[in-house]
Chain A
């Protein structure tokens, strides 16, 4: 169900921390930068299972999902999240991953359905610009 208080012109983004890793500095900084850029941002908080993230994406009716992963668990967690999103019919959502992702893992993540991977050193502006350019229009 769409949230009735939401502003229809704003891009809605879910920032999520899958897995057990507690390093949330990046996720929080990104969440704030996206909010300052005019997006509506929902942050899941820590220690989310793939299922919890998929549920949040459905409930919050977001166009963009940003996953922050620094623990090395991306190859296990991201495919589960993508499967869940497909099952819920969220095929159009823009899926972005940020964190410590070795270069050699990026092609496989993209093949699975990740649209973009931001690694250390990416600027807030790059992330904002990418999302603004690629977020799907609201149905």
Chain B
């Protein structure tokens, strides 16, 4: 590229030769455009406007001249894989070294049932575990709580005590697998149970690897499984980051998640912006506690949705890495390249799947998975085609896993780093997604940060507006869902097997818990709970006291209930 002298004399950083070449391209492009207009009088465009799924207008064609007009600079904006600003990926050799982690989210019924599904996935080539918990567990209720009636084991596995956690990972050496756990409001308690089980298996602390979702901010924004008000809840997240930074150096402390934000109706840009803003919220909280950025930032990871719009999704991943790297370096002055890198898991878009003609979902998942991989994700879950109907069956899960394996080992896409890099259109789209996300982040900064924005209801309202807008577009057939608003079929008998969780799971869990409550020592667990409460009142890090409580067989709900009077409970208004 141009040296200092040519930069002064020629616009931007183009050399004289490049500039005159661009002039030639611009002229040729003008000629082409006038021919295009003639073509379009004979073959008019199918639509008035061509937009991405998120309603961002896209050009028919992009050229080097367009890219120049957007101010794109290769070294500054793109660079090389494994190097700042990581637009082209976080690894130098990308998937040639190591394929993305194929991590299928699983969890249903009892710990014993989920343990069997885990073993099935591991035997079939899956490389990491990912745990779904049921609604009562996610809200900090035990299986025998009246609040959880009818929901035990339905949308995930029920874990009320360390006994359930032991059964969940029975026969799985925790030093040899990486485990992801999708839980947020009571994440600190579930992490304590997991660490205690790993300790029981004799796994050294540095060999405990995995990811705790632990992203409470997106709960208020989108997923809505909360317990405490925002500020003390972020305090609990900060406790886990602080503790793991000191004791579990290879544990990913937070998986900052856009997935739920997108599924709740956000656009790609909103997903990106609110997720990164959540990340900044955790960083500010850790820094306020006196932690050093490079001590904890390398262990923050991300989790994005991969939706239907192929190019927009690839652009989103590329923009995400670039924005994060720059924020980390420029705003927080992080020095360690690991702090700059946005490492991410991705999951295909559950909300894009249709109950109608459900086999079509296999195709949607394939397209989405490909976008995630071409976007450079580090880990991927592919949805099962029957997930709009029920929890996935073994057969459907297997097709979803095989989809990834076919892309990885048959399609050839894993051989090349960032193959869309340098595409005029992709670079322009990446710049536009980046700019729109940065506008949102600026707005949130002006509100005082993400906590204040959430308390004002700002991201929530933006998402609700987008969800409603999209539904209206579907009904007007401005956006198409095959089988739903176009190409419908009469499907009197839907021939898809579904997995059914019956009430006996709940009864069994309740009995197991009653047995635990009878057999444990009341003094020991009550003393442990008292320590949790006193530490909370004193504003101390709660990780050690909670570890003590789970080892004393205090249950999830007992620990969460101990903190409710100290922290209060979150309530949302019924605005829509």
Give me the interface of A with B, judged by CB distance under 8 Å.
Answer: 15, 19-25, 27-29, 31-33, 41-47, 49, 71-77, 100, 102-103, 119-121, 123-125
Interface string of B546-576 (1 = CB under 8 A from A): 0000000000000000000000000111111
Interface string of B245-278 (1 = CB under 8 A from A): 0000000000000000001110000000000000
When distances are taken between beta carbons in the complex, the residues of chain B under 8 Å from A23 are: 223-224, 264
- A126 (CB) vs chain B CBs: closest residue: B475
Contact of B475 among A27, A41, A74, A124 (CB under 8 A): A124
Near A by CB (< 8 A), chain B positions 355-406 give 355-356, 388-390
B155 close to A76 (CB less than 8 A): no
In the complex, what distance in Å separates the CA atom of A135 from the CA atom of B136? 34
Give me the interface of B with A, judged by CB distance under 8 Å.
Answer: 135-136, 138-139, 141, 147-151, 154-155, 219, 223-225, 263-265, 351, 354-356, 388-390, 464, 467-468, 471-472, 474-475, 483-485, 494, 498, 500-501, 503, 571-576
- B225 (CB) vs chain A CBs: closest residue: A22
When distances are taken between beta carbons in the complex, the residues of chain B under 8 Å from A47 are: 139, 224
Q: What's the nearest-Cβ distance from chain A to residue B485, in Å?
A: 8
- Given the interface pairs A43-B576, A45-B574, A47-B139, the reply to whether A71 lies near B224 with Cβ below 8 Å is no
B572 close to A45 (CB less than 8 A): yes
Contact of A76 among B150, B224, B354 (CB under 8 A): B150
- Given the interface pairs A20-B135, A49-B147, A120-B354, the reply to whether A73 lies near B576 with Cβ below 8 Å is no
A103 close to B494 (CB less than 8 A): yes
B150 close to A42 (CB less than 8 A): no
B150 close to A25 (CB less than 8 A): no
A72 close to B494 (CB less than 8 A): no
What are 12 A-B interface contacts by the 8 Å CB criterion? A19-B150, A19-B151, A20-B136, A20-B147, A24-B224, A32-B464, A43-B574, A72-B155, A102-B390, A120-B355, A120-B356, A125-B475
Give the 8 A-B CB pairs with smallest separation, nearest first. A76-B150, A22-B224, A45-B574, A73-B150, A20-B135, A72-B154, A28-B576, A43-B574
B355 close to A29 (CB less than 8 A): no
When distances are taken between beta carbons in the complex, the residues of chain B under 8 Å from A102 are: 389-390, 498, 500
When distances are taken between beta carbons in the complex, the residues of chain A under 8 Å from B148 are: 20
- B226 (CB) vs chain A CBs: closest residue: A22
B151 close to A21 (CB less than 8 A): yes
Q: What's the nearest-Cβ distance from chain A to residue B410, in Å?
A: 32
- Given the interface pairs A46-B572, A102-B389, A124-B475, the reply to whether A22 lies near B223 with Cβ below 8 Å is yes
Given pairs A71-B155, A120-B356, 4 additional interface contacts (CB within 8 A): A15-B576, A21-B155, A43-B574, A45-B574
B576 close to A32 (CB less than 8 A): yes
- Given the interface pairs A29-B468, A120-B355, A120-B388, the reply to whether A71 lies near B263 with Cβ below 8 Å is no
A121 close to B147 (CB less than 8 A): no
- B488 (CB) vs chain A CBs: closest residue: A121
Q: What's the nearest-Cβ distance from chain A to residue B87, in Å?
A: 31
When distances are taken between beta carbons in the complex, the residues of chain A under 8 Å from B351 are: 25
In the complex, what distance in Å separates the CA atom of A12 from the CA atom of B263? 29
When distances are taken between beta carbons in the complex, the residues of chain A under 8 Å from B354 are: 120-121
When distances are taken between beta carbons in the complex, the residues of chain A under 8 Å from B355 are: 119-121
B139 close to A32 (CB less than 8 A): no
- Given the interface pairs A22-B224, A43-B574, the reply to whether A73 lies near B467 with Cβ below 8 Å is no
Q: What's the nearest-Cβ distance from chain A to residue B467, in Å?
A: 5
Contact of A25 among B225, B264, B388, B572 (CB under 8 A): B264
In the complex, what distance in Å separates the CA atom of A32 from the CA atom of B571? 21
When distances are taken between beta carbons in the complex, the residues of chain B under 8 Å from A42 are: 574
In the complex, what distance in Å separates the CA atom of A15 from the CA atom of B136? 22
In the complex, what distance in Å separates the CA atom of A53 from the CA atom of B390? 26
B151 close to A44 (CB less than 8 A): no
When distances are taken between beta carbons in the complex, the residues of chain B under 8 Å from A46 are: 224, 572
In the complex, what distance in Å separates the CA atom of A23 from the CA atom of B463? 13
A25 close to B574 (CB less than 8 A): no
A75 close to B574 (CB less than 8 A): no
- B472 (CB) vs chain A CBs: closest residue: A124
B475 close to A20 (CB less than 8 A): no
Q: What's the nearest-Cβ distance from chain A to residue B160, in Å?
A: 14
Q: What's the nearest-Cβ distance from chain A to residue B222, in Å?
A: 8
Q: What's the nearest-Cβ distance from chain A to residue B45, in Å?
A: 27
When distances are taken between beta carbons in the complex, the residues of chain A under 8 Å from B575 are: 43
Q: What's the nearest-Cβ distance from chain B to residue A118, in Å?
A: 12
Q: What's the nearest-Cβ distance from chain A to residue B507, in Å?
A: 12
When distances are taken between beta carbons in the complex, the residues of chain A under 8 Å from B224 are: 22-24, 46-47
In the complex, what distance in Å separates the CA atom of A46 from the CA atom of B222? 12
Contact of A20 among B141, B464, B494, B573 (CB under 8 A): B141
When distances are taken between beta carbons in the complex, the residues of chain A under 8 Å from B263 are: 25
Contact of A75 among B147, B150, B571 (CB under 8 A): B150
